[in-house]
Amino acid sequence: MFEAVNKGFQWFTGLGSNGILCVALLIIGLVLGLKVGDAVRSALTATVGFIGLNLTVDMLIAQMSPATMSMVERMNWNLDIVDVGWGLMGMAWGQPGSGMVIIALIATNIALIFLNFTKTLMVDFWNYWSFAASAALIYGATGNMIFTVLAACIYMAVSLKWADKMAPTYQEFYGIPGCTWPTGAIIAPAMIGIPVVKLIQKIPGIKNVKADPETMQEKMGIFGEPIVIGAILGMLIGFIAGYDIRQILLLGFNMAAVMILLPRMIQIMMEGLISISDQAKIFTAKYMKGREVWIGIDASTIMGNPATMSAILIMTPIVTFMSIIPGNRMLATASLVAVPWFIIGITAFAKENILHICMSVFVVFAIYFWCATAMAGAHTHIAEIVGFEFPEGTNLISSLSEGGNPITFIMYKILDLLGFVSY
């Protein structure tokens, strides 16, 4: 039975994030009472915006990754843990009992809503991979299926609660009512980064530095506009990477395009989501005694803020240099694709101050590096279990994002202290 469930879920996840989003939004729209035509239109519009968003993010990653790799080659650094980045995603879906984990997560979400623990109904099924990744690492560490399922459900519960806590700020800041952003990849960075930002906002001197896009544009004129900032930062990164003039210019042009295209794609996506969000309010008022239920969506929908994009371009090369911090043994390469998700959740609380965002994210990444190093044994073991193809000469692998998630690390450490960890 579990094998059949696993196969069915793996087929569903094979639709990819775009297909899953469209199907999920269509079903939710119909359940909430939208007319068929309105539900189809809303689902398709939101999906088209999401596809455009993903294409733009893919372009960002495709342009930034080679530049960063060039910097790494020029520095000739060697660390003994190989960074596999989002290779952990395949381990999350392919782990033993992945279907059981997902069923438990869906049941947990519904139960927590009716227990008034959370207001968030997470329809972002693709990003269940974050919770499944936590489960995979715990399975790799212990081989115990009970701990595996429990870890995923605890991680989800923490994420939903924090998504609720952060939602009012995000809803007002981004103008998206009725939604939350429980994407696991942004929750722990926000849990660490937001208190750091609040501390920075109290430090004399630093707290008074105005580094938001609006102030920068006022002071710097055209050089403070997002499109120009993107071009300048892109060309600077190309220069550091050792690119020739043509490559430097092209990287600058492409980063300028990202700064403009991302917000436009998000606007299209919001056109589809708003009608579903409005219908959710009507549905809950009628059938749930007015209980407020928010729709949990992908955090990339709030990525397009100019301050966020500027911080992403600044921090991507810095994260690579951070690989030399004491206590870390992993060279950040493949995980650089996840840099945006470390930053997304902090921008609104930092009031778009790019300096404050980067300072807080620096602390976040340091913690993730240490956690990723500590859990490299579990990461490597689950990779062996699912048949991951290791790079030649590799003994240990790990990753940032979910591979170094402090929530998972805390559960891992507790189990280790209790004597259940073997890797």
Q: Where are the domains of the chain?
A: 1-418
Q: Which positions ≥6 away from 137 have C-beta within 8 Å?
A: 88, 151, 375, 378, 379, 382, 402, 403, 408, 412
* Residue 20 in this model has a pLDDT that exceeds 80: no
| Helix H or strand E segment including 54 | helix 36-75
Q: 311-358, pLDDT tens digit by residue?
A: 988 888 888 889 889 999 998 877 877 888 999 999 999 999 999 999
DSSP state of 179: E
Give 51 or 130, the one with higher predicted confidence. 130
Mean pLDDT score across all residues of the chain: 85
Distance CA 152, CA 332 (A): 25
Instruction: Report the pLDDT value the prediction gives residue 367, as an integer from 0 to 100.
Output: 97
- Asked if residues 54 and 368 have their Cβ atoms less than 8 Å apart, the reply is no
* Residue 301 in this model has a pLDDT that exceeds 90: no
| Helix H or strand E segment including 399 | none
Burial 91-112 (b: 16+ CB within 10 A, else e): bbbbbbbbbbbbebbeebbeeb
Instruction: Report the pLDDT value the prediction gives residue 170, as an integer from 0 to 100.
Output: 95
| Helix H or strand E segment including 120 | strand 120-122
Q: How far is CA 319 from CA 72, 83, 182, 233, 350, in A?
A: 11, 13, 24, 15, 20
Q: Which positions ≥6 away from 36 have C-beta within 8 Å?
A: 30
12 confidence band (pLDDT: 50, 70, 90):
low
Task: Name the nearest CA neighbour of 368 among 392, 388, 341, 387.
Answer: 341
Instruction: Report the pLDDT value the prediction gives residue 93, as an integer from 0 to 100.
Output: 79
**Which residue has tokens 């939208």?**
34
Q: 354-368, pLDDT tens digit by residue?
A: 999 999 999 999 999
Alpha helix ranges (H) inside 76-144: 87-94, 98-114, 129-142
* Residue 285 in this model has a pLDDT that exceeds 80: no
Instruction: Report the pLDDT value the prediction gives residue 182, as an integer from 0 to 100.
Output: 94
* Residue 197 in this model has a pLDDT that exceeds 60: yes
Residue 118 in 3-state DSSP? coil
The reported pTM is: 0.80
Whole-angstrom distance between the N-terminal and C-terminal Cα of the chain?
29
Lowest mean pLDDT among 41-50, 133-142, 396-405: 41-50
Both tokens assigned to 292: 């407020």
Q: 221-273, pLDDT tens digit by residue?
A: 766 676 787 788 788 878 877 888 998 888 888 878 877 776 677 678 777 77
Instruction: Report the pLDDT value the prediction gives residue 61, as an integer from 0 to 100.
Output: 65
The share of the chain scoring above pLDDT 90, in percent, equals: 36
409 confidence band (pLDDT: 50, 70, 90):
very high
| Helix H or strand E segment including 398 | strand 396-398
Instruction: Report the pLDDT value the prediction gives residue 254, as an integer from 0 to 100.
Output: 84
C-beta neighbour count of 334 within 10 angstroms: 19
